[in-house]
Structure 1
Amino acid sequence: MVISSEYELHMEACAFLASLRMADRSINTERLYAGRAALYLSYCAEHGLDWKKPGLPGLARFLHWLVDEPLPSRALKTAKVRFREKKTANQIMTTVCQFLRFCGLQGWVDAQTVNQLSEQKYLAYLPEGFDPGEDGQFRTVRAKAIKFEVAVEGYEWLNPEQFERILGLTRRARDRFLVALLAATGVRIGEALGLRREDMHLLSDSSALGCQVAGPHVHVRRRQNSNGALAKARMPRSIPVTAELVTLYADYCFERDQVDEAADVDMVFVNLFRAPLGRGMTYHNAKDLFDRLARQAGFEARPHMLRHTAATTWIRNKVPRDVVKDLMGHVADASMAPYVHATDGDKREAVERVAAIRNGQVQG
């Protein structure tokens, strides 16, 4: 929920969050959007701006305020002053526009304000997989009217040495299995934390369980979970796993069996080392784990980086794109574009090959 400084509910913002809940968005998305909406409403209240009619100049000032205003200090007053990146400001503005559009549908914000949030844009260069239509009629789209122009960054992933370093730093079987599972299957952290024991088909033949998928595998299904974990992909899928991962799961089950509170819990990943014992692991628990591992390793490591690690590894080992797309649970072909890029080795090989051709060492 979103409340004012006088502890009064902001009804429009709360209705917006309720719409996210009805659309089956994850609790993390709802929490993130709540903070962004509250930030916008607080800015409007402090700067005398009508949040329902901010106008383009008002939204532009808000966008620049997001990067110019120092973030609250996390520690001592001597801590380094931090600022938001332009990419983060754009993400906040996207949520604000979505909030205002929702309010427009409810009649709380006028159509003129909603229409100002986007403008027509002609796509001279089409994203991979985009259908422009027979006559190019789909080349003209609606794009955000107010945003910072930022460089498109590649997805962050861990190279094999970094992954082995992170895996080696785990001290508990549960944590080791979680890290290995994310890297081996490419599942999102919400999908991993939402796994139930019934999803773990780790025998060579699962027909006795009513499953016709051959070999050891895990099932990813979208369902409501008590720990707030939610699979983003709406279509269920199965992902094959290796014998090594099965062994890590067996090690984890042995560790888990030592905790009585976890005995009858159906969730795969549960609290074993701190209260409440036996409760399903949350996003916060997983983030704490990866933060600790990253500090020990000396480089950035987040759960989603292992998803990118899996996809990048598959692509670079010549796994067909449609297979990788299915393993990742992607719907659009364009979602695969970030993983299809040349490695440093590919570029070095190309340059050296051309040099060798020029020197007559090899034939073109």
Structure 2
Amino acid sequence: MHSEACAYLVGLRGAGRSFNTERTYAGRIALYLTYCADHGVDWTRPSLPQLLAMMRWLVDEPLPPKGRRVATEARYREERTANAIMGTVGELLTWCSLQGWVPVTVVSQLIQPKYLHYTPPGFDAGEDGQNRNVKGRRIKFRVAVPGYEWLSDDEIHRLIGFTTHARDRFLVSLLAVTGMRIGEALGLRREDMHFLPDSTSLGCRVEGPHVHVRRRRNSNDAYAKSPEPRWIPVEADTVGAYAEYRYERDEVAEAVACDMVFVNLFRAPLGEPMKYPSTYELFKRLAERAGFRARPHMLRHSAITRWVRSGVARDVCQDMAGHVSPSSMDPYTHTTDQDKRDAVELVAAKRKEARQ
């Protein structure tokens, strides 16, 4: 056990960071410490060239094969992944510096002055633009901003059509309608499913069918990212899909005692809550059948995009999505291919009208 790294992870937990963040950071820190041990680097006093060498190593070193499969071709980390790892390393060293375990000079080499020529919406640049001078990361690759992946209504319908079990149909439908994160869905308990027209008998004053999302510690490590509880309305089709799933679930005796909504019904351990790996395997199979990329988060993006494009108020979208900051809604407001086509045709029509 590495006492300083463990103390840092405990600090993350104390600061209210999610379990998934803690788990992800633990892997990145372990990678950094292992690299330092293998390359003779003092983890408390890495020089800038040594950190740059690690960043290059992250993208040049082939990754080990997944599971027991024989690798057909070498896999490598993307530069974006390397940036995330080095960002975590920087946070670790900065925190350890505050504890007196890492020299301040080590942390100072990680940052450099940066002037914001372009500011995000809502940014206060100050009367004289003084707030544009910020501290930026010195160690990172320059990468292009990725496109946001989402699914059309037709693709979602096709994806649901390729499911073979009522449980899987309900999971895909629920994610597509509510915009939940996959961790929030896997963390649902049966007491959260208020699918009656009136839930006052359950001690809930919310009208109409809905589902509650709450942060809890769960045995399957599913965790709600948002610290604030929320509820999300659902429509009749989702209620019907849940009823079909309940019939399927009731056929498995091992699932009766489990309070979690999504459980293993078709392979051991029967009746145990579904976990992240099995869920991602499910979406991988569905994507192969459908012939297009399909990941759980794409359904979340699709749901929020539909809300925005349907004219739902931004603050309502933010509340249902479980975003703490209004700026978190920005990535979900994007143009479609039809928007671009309509814009070109509109300009062309106006030019034609002007010539007549």
Asked if Structure 1 and Structure 2 have the same fold, meaning a TM-score greater than 0.5 normalized by the shorter chain, the answer is yes
Whichever residue aligns with residue 58 of structure 1, its letter is Q
Which residue of 2 is the match for residue 303 of structure 1? 296
In structure 2, C-alpha distance between the alignment counterparts of 1:336 and 1:139, rounded to whole Å: 23
Out of 72, 80, 92, which is 1:87 matched to? 80
Does the 8 Å CA contact 2:196/2:209 hold for their aligned counterparts?
yes
Partner residue, 1:181 = 174
8 Å Cα contact 1:257-1:263 kept in structure 2: yes
Aligned partner of 2:29 among 37, 42, 56:
37
The residue that corresponds to 1:21 in the other structure is 13
Q: How far apart are the structure 2 equivalents of 1:285 and 1:23?
A: 30
205, 208, 218: which one aligns with 1:215:
208
What is residue 331 of structure 1 aligned with on the other side?
324
In structure 2, C-alpha distance between the alignment counterparts of 1:197 and 1:361, rounded to whole Å:
62
Does the aligned pair in 1 maintain the 2:115–2:134 contact within 8 Å?
yes
- Which SS does the other structure have where 2:142 is aligned? coil
Q: CA deviation at 1:182?
A: 0.5
The separation in 2 between residues aligned to 1:256 and 1:146, in whole angstroms, is: 50
- How far apart, CA to CA, are the structure 1 residues paired with 2:339 and 2:277? 38
Hey, what does 2:341 align to over in structure 1? 348
What is the match of residue 257 of structure 1?
A: 250
Check if 1:61 corresponds to 2:53: yes
Indicate the residue corresponding to 1:225 in structure 2.
218
Aligned length: 354
* TM-score, scaled to structure 2: 0.94
Is 1:197 the equivalent of 2:190? yes
Is 1:122 aligned to residue 115 of structure 2? yes
Query: Structure 1 CA distance, aligned partners of 2:132 and 2:158?
Result: 46
The 3 A distance-change label for structure 1 pair 133 and 149 is same
1:235 alignment counterpart: 228
The TM-score normalised by the length of structure 1 is 0.92
**Partner SS for 2:135:** strand
How big is each residue's C-alpha offset from its partner over 1:38-85, in whole Å with a ceiling of 9 and x where there is no partner? 2112222222222111122211111111112222234436x1122211
Distance (Å, rounded) in 2 between the aligned partners of 1:265 and 1:294: 29
Provide closer, same or farther for how the CA distance between residues 186 and 58 of structure 1 changes in structure 2, counting only shifts above 3 A. Answer: same
Deviation at 1:90, TM superposition (A): 0.5
1:76 to 64, 70, 74: 70
> Shift of residue 326 of structure 1?
1.1
Output the CA distance in 1 between the equivalents of 2:99 and 2:285.
Answer: 45
| Alignment match, 2:165 | 172
Which stretch shifts more, 236-245 or 128-137?
A: 128-137
Alignment of 1:103-182 (within 5 A): 103-133=96-126, 136-182=129-175
Q: Which residue matches 1:288?
A: 281
Mapped to 2, the partners of 1:228 and 1:25 lie a distance apart of 14
Q: Distance in 2 between matches of 1:24 and 1:289?
A: 30
Q: Distance in 2 between matches of 1:253 and 1:105?
A: 52
Deviations 1:187-234 (A, max 9, x none): 111111111111111111112222221111111111111211111001
Q: Contact between 2:152 and 2:302, CA under 8 Å: does it hold in 1?
A: yes
Match of 2:4 among 12, 23, 28: 12
- The alignment yields a C-alpha RMSD, in angstroms, of 1.9
